[in-house]
Amino acid sequence: MRFTASDFADGSYGGAAGKAKTANAIIRFIESGFARAKFTRQAYSGGLMYMFSHIAHYDIHGFFSTWFEDDRNILEWLEYVARSPIYGDNDCTLAEVERVVQKYVRESGLIETYRQHVADVQEARERGQLAALKAKYEGSN
């Protein structure tokens, strides 16, 4: 476990132990490569649906499909989290959890990794299209 209750204020919103549990669930989900099986109720209902000015996206399945079903959306989410302002008092919000998740995202190198991966996939797709078009219009002489 990465975070413990002692890492957070014991405010009325979730309590320190709840905040630690939520932070750990979100970090485990990110570290899993955004695996669907790791997108738990604790990660979603315990925090993400309220954090970074997110809306619930109807339910856990809608949230996952909006942000995590493909690498482009994952990159968009990582960039969104990294630049999101964090509002609220530690006693009344999950601002502390937002800060530790944001710090993790900024320092993990994941944004650069996903940027490069998305660019590589796009280039491979475009090169495949180019080869198909060349074969179609230039033929093999």
What is this structure's pTM? Answer: 0.87
Mean predicted lDDT score pLDDT of the chain: 92
Place of tokens 């999950």: 94
Cβ–Cβ under 8 Å, residues 3 and 20: yes
Q: Residue 91: its pLDDT value, please?
A: 79
Interatomic CA distance for residues 57 and 8, integer angstroms: 27
| Regions of the chain where pLDDT drops below 50 | none
Number of helical H runs and strand E runs in the chain: 6, 0
